[in-house]
Amino acid sequence: MKFNDLALEAPILKALEKQGYTQPTPIQEKAIPILLKGHDLLGVAQTGTGKTAAFGIPILNHLCQDKTTGKGQPKVKALVVTPTRELAIQIAENFTAYSEFTNLKSTVIFGGVKQAQQVKHLRSGVNILIATPGRLLDLMSQGFITFKDLKYVVLDEADQMLDMGFIHDVKKIIAQLPQKRQSLFFSATMPKTIVELSKKMLGKFERVTIKPEQATAEKVEQGIYFVIKGNKTKLLVHLLEQRKEESVLVFSRTKHGANKIVKKLEQSGIKSAAIHGNKSQNMRQKALGDFKMGKLNILVATDIAARGIDIDELSLVINFDLPNVAETYVHRIGRTGRANASGIALSFCMAEERPYLKEIEKLIKQKVPRLLDHPFMEDHDVIEGASVKKPAKKQNSKKRNYARNNRSRKRG
């Protein structure tokens, strides 16, 4: 299938051509025809699949065909709610690109920065509003936004909204939207709370599922290094030194861990920056901007901060820590190999993380290739499962002493 087969308006086709899109990705191929017909949609898909265009193109197409759109001050007719600032900015950039040859106006609002500039844009009139929940509610309550004319709403990354504690804000926002509207609901996973929310938000809907393994595991070359905790940084430095020119995204499970990695890399003469929730919005944007422009090669991120980061040339993702939720692994490796490109994802796994690896392999239905040939390999790293610490089963002191002596014998 080609975009030309989708009966889209000429300015949108022109913009897609300019972006270099010729063929719809699987989610676009499934979702766009449903959305063009005006149906509600439940999309089970993650970022990196071409999800933004899957909802952006039909919305823009509807707005192009809407005869009232060009008359008078633009009114907010489409709303996209998304959990993180980075994602909001990225979606807004996509809408701007896809609507380049139309008269449609969009803007983005998010917290962590002063509101004046955002209010100014809203006052000048926009057709499409992309927002994070907190700032949106805030500006709604101050009377800067009205949804009287709203026709399309997208709730993006719903499961992430739940994780970040935004679900009540989201419910409050939805309650204030007109009943008659087209609703789109996207989530990478569907826990019970999210299923309930989707039922509240959607009318009669159609469902499109793009399985994570379809989206990522096939395209991304993966590998796992077994390594003890104390050797992880050395291995990271070693890998980064081998790939000096590449853009590398390093994942850390915690904010503190991300800062520590940056510090350790600096001690080895490697420049990097961390992005996570404790950094100011400006610092995060600067780091991300430098990374996107190629001024900075290494970005260290936590999952929430990195969700949805879209960088064209990102060839390598390194999981410094394995995530304890298997789906997160799929999200992470999806940062490379976006749309139809291929990429590499390397993960570090210490003994305590082996159970996580098992869960990941169950989810992606494949074994991640073991990369056993690295300079920081300890003997016991090779034996899979053997060195996994079982959760605290009480040992009597005799056994404990035996185990301790045995360990020190081995080390000696």
Nearest to ligand AMP of 15, 150 (CB atom) = 15
Angle at 301 between CA 299 and CA 305, to 5 degrees: 125
Tell me the longest C-alpha to C-alpha distance in the chain. 84
Nearer to ligand AMP, 174 or 339 (CB): 339
Nearer CB in complex with ligand AMP: 80/300: 80
CB within 8 Å of 226: residues ≥ 6 apart: 349, 350, 370, 372, 377, 381, 382, 384
For the chain, first and last CA: distance in Å? Answer: 64
Of 56 and 257, the one with the shorter C-beta distance to ligand AMP is 56
**Which is nearer to ligand AMP, 208 or 227 (by Cβ)?**
208
Which strand (E) or helix (H) includes residue 107?
A: strand 106-109
- Minimal CA–CA distance to 208: which of 32, 31, 53? 31
| Smallest separation (angstroms) from ligand AMP to the CB of 127 | 20
172-188 residues labelled b (16+ CB within 10 A) or e (exposed): ebbeebeeebbbbbbbb
* Order of strands, sheet of 343-349, starting from the edge strand that comes earlier in the sequence: 220-226, 343-349, 314-319, 247-251, 298-301, 273-275
The Cα–Cα gap between 10 and 50 comes to 20
Secondary structure class of 301 (helix, strand, coil)? strand
Q: Are 283 and 112 in contact (CB under 8 A)?
A: no
Q: Which is nearer to ligand AMP, 48 or 133 (CB)?
A: 48
How many C-beta atoms lie closer than 10 Å to residue 362's C-beta?
10
Written as six digits, the tokens of 309 are 């980061």
Least Å distance, CB 221 to ligand AMP, is 18
What's the min distance (Å) between Cβ of 55 and ligand AMP? 9
- Close Cβ partners of 132 (under 8 Å, ≥ 6 residues apart): 81, 82, 83, 84, 85, 88, 109, 110, 111
CB contact burial 21-56 (16+ within 10 A = b; e otherwise): beebbbbbbbbbbbbbeebbbbbbbbbbbbbbbbbb
Cα 8 to chain centroid, rounded: 28
Rounded to the nearest whole angstrom, what is the least distance from the CB of residue 213 to ligand AMP in the complex?
16
Residues 84 and 90 sit within 8 Å (Cβ to Cβ): no
The residue type at 252: S
Contact residues toward ligand AMP (CB under 6 A) are: 21, 23-25, 28, 47-53, 310, 338-340
Q: Which one-letter DSSP state was computed for residue 109?
A: E
**Residue 210 to residue 191: CA distance in whole angstroms:** 16
Residue 211, class by beta-carbon neighbours within 10 Å (0-12 exposed, 13-18 middle, 19+ buried)? middle
